[in-house]
Structure 1
Amino acid sequence: MTDTTPTTGAAAPTAADVARMIDHTLLKPEATRADVDALVAEAVELGTYSVCVSPSMLPLVLPEGADLKIAVVAGFPSGKHTSAVKAAEAAEAVAAGADEVDMVIDVGAAKAGDFASVEEDIAAVRTAVPAPTVLKVIIESAALSDDEIVAACRAAESAGADFVKTSTGFHPTGGATVHAVELMAQTVGGRLGVKASGGVRSLADAQAYVAAGATRLGVSGSRALLGDAGAGDGSGAGY
């Protein structure tokens, strides 16, 4: 994959650079088909990497020639689904056109130290959606200790995931932190991508997470975030 090398130490990314790292996200339970259609149009306008939606919203109709990936969630947002259900949900989504799957681990298993079960859960989804489908693993980092974050990342890598991701954005403990992203990036060492998600609201936030090692960003308010750098030209190439 071309987007998994941490950029820590590099110059701060421009708004256009950030746009191409964004999964433009709409996961609200009340989202309608019209809302998702608007999300897709906005993603194309802003030049984001992908849209991330609930699997019930598939299939999506993309504008002709759109350079836009489709991501969906699985086991979302609790992670308390069985592995078989997560795997089936992911496989159905890919059959309906998803390029990427963001699955949620069983956070309780991680808190209990049962990382063998965490790895088995991830591996079940990986088997159901093999490469070239991109598999991101949401570990809900704000609910975990540093040691648990490291162990969850190692489980994800051992199970064949492509990314580790901080948060669903729905957990009461909060979303991404720079510390968690740094720890995750150090643990996976560039072998996996790192997605910061949950509370990425400004261009400065995005740049801080990229400096910490994030290679993808989950953002629901992409227009506001990219608007920090001024208006775009509407070409879909970002700002």
Structure 2
Amino acid sequence: MSKKIPGRIRKEDIAGMIDHTILGPTATKANIKKICEEAKRFNFCSVCVNPAHVKFVKNELAGTNIKVCTVIGFPLGATTPKEKAEDTKLAIQDGADEIDMVMNIGAMIEGDYDTIRKEVSAVVKAGHGRIVKVILETAYLNDGQKRVACRIAKECKASFVKTSTGFGPHGATVHDIKLMRDIVGMKLGVKASGGIHTLKNARKMIRAGADRIGASSLVKEFYGISIQDQTLQKNILKRKVY
């Protein structure tokens, strides 16, 4: 799924990989509308919101090629395979194009791989061909567990593996992106998410193997801010998003 990385990764190349994200508990329709406007202005790949906002975002993005992404089992992953599948169906009914599901992290840690297989397979089936990204929440896993999680996602025909929710101890690292890409090969995508605030960091993730970037505050660099527009910068950075 990943393409050959050019010598120079342009800002426009990165824009097409960004899931512009607002998942904080205080997000209002005004906040979400602003996110949608930014996605349209800079031609981002998708807008990622909580399920309650999918219909609103679908309407805001009507007439564009920007996808509506939502999250399932978020942010803890601690719901049953059946619940995750049902929530996926409801999200799709509301207009979701892509599903980012959090795997059952506790099950992975204790070696209950059957539960992981069941939930990933259930969400993929409920997705009816839509892109499904499996969030590993890598901050809680050792490298062996990350490898197993990636193999299960691949086995169950998920579309992507993803590092983080943005609510864990830390987000994406170059080490984890390389590890995940090594396991899934070129058949699955790899999404780096959490703590990616600069184009420099985004480029590091892409060179390590990421072909999707989950970010919110990265948008400030698309405005070309270099402390010129203090008000705009303040408004963007103060949003409590993940």
Q: Report the TM-score, using the length of structure 1 for normalisation.
A: 0.90
Q: Which residue of 2 aligns with 1:155?
A: 152
Structure 2 residue runs without a partner (length 5+): 229-242
Residue 54 of structure 1 pairs with residue 50 of structure 2? yes
Higher helix share: 2
Cα deviation for residue 228 of structure 1 reads 5.7
Contact 1:203–1:228 (CA under 8 A) maintained in structure 2: no
**Offset of 1:145 from its aligned partner?**
0.7
SS of structure 1 residue aligned to 2:222: helix
Distance apart, 1:65 and its partner CA: 3.0
| Structural mapping, 1:7-22, within 5 Å | 7=4, 10-22=6-18
The residue that corresponds to 2:200 in the other structure is 204
SS in 1 for 2:77: coil
**TM-fit CA distance, 1:227:** 4.2
**Partner SS, residue 9 of structure 2:** coil
**Contact 2:81/2:115 (CA < 8 Å) preserved in 1?**
no
The residue aligned with 2:136 is 139
CA distance, structure 1, for counterparts of residue 99 and residue 211 of structure 2: 16
Q: Post-superposition shift, 1:137?
A: 0.3
Instruction: Report the counterpart of residue 174 of structure 1 in structure 2.
Output: 170
**Aligned to 2:111, what secondary structure does the other structure show?**
coil
1:181-204 residue CA offsets vs partner (Å, 9 max, x unmatched): 000001000110000000011001
Percent identity between the two aligned chains? 40
8 Å contact from structure 2 (residues 163, 177) kept in 1? yes
Matched, 1:99 2:105: no
Count of residue correspondences: 225
**Structure 1 residues 1-239: aligned runs within 5 Å:** 4-7=1-4, 10-59=6-55, 60=57, 61-63=59-61, 65-131=63-129, 133-171=130-168, 173-227=169-223
Task: Let me know the Cα RMSD of the aligned residues.
Answer: 1.6
Give 1:114's aligned amino acid: D
Question: Which secondary structure state, in structure 1, belongs to the residue aligned with residue 148 of structure 2?
Answer: helix
| Partner AA of 1:104 in structure 2 | V
Contact 1:74 1:89 in 2 (8 A): yes
Displacement of 1:6: 4.9
Name the aligned partner's letter for residue 121 of structure 2.
Answer: A
Is this contact kept in 2: 1:203–1:229, CA < 8 A? no
Distance 1:71-1:200 versus aligned 2 partners, 3 A rule:
same
Native 8 Å contact 2:196 2:218 kept in 1: no
Deviation at residue 229 of structure 1 after TM alignment: 8.4
Unaligned ranges ≥5, structure 1: 232-239
If asked which structure has higher relative contact order (CA below 8 Å, sep 6+), I would say: 1
Distance in 2 (alpha carbons) for counterparts of 1:75 and 1:159? 17
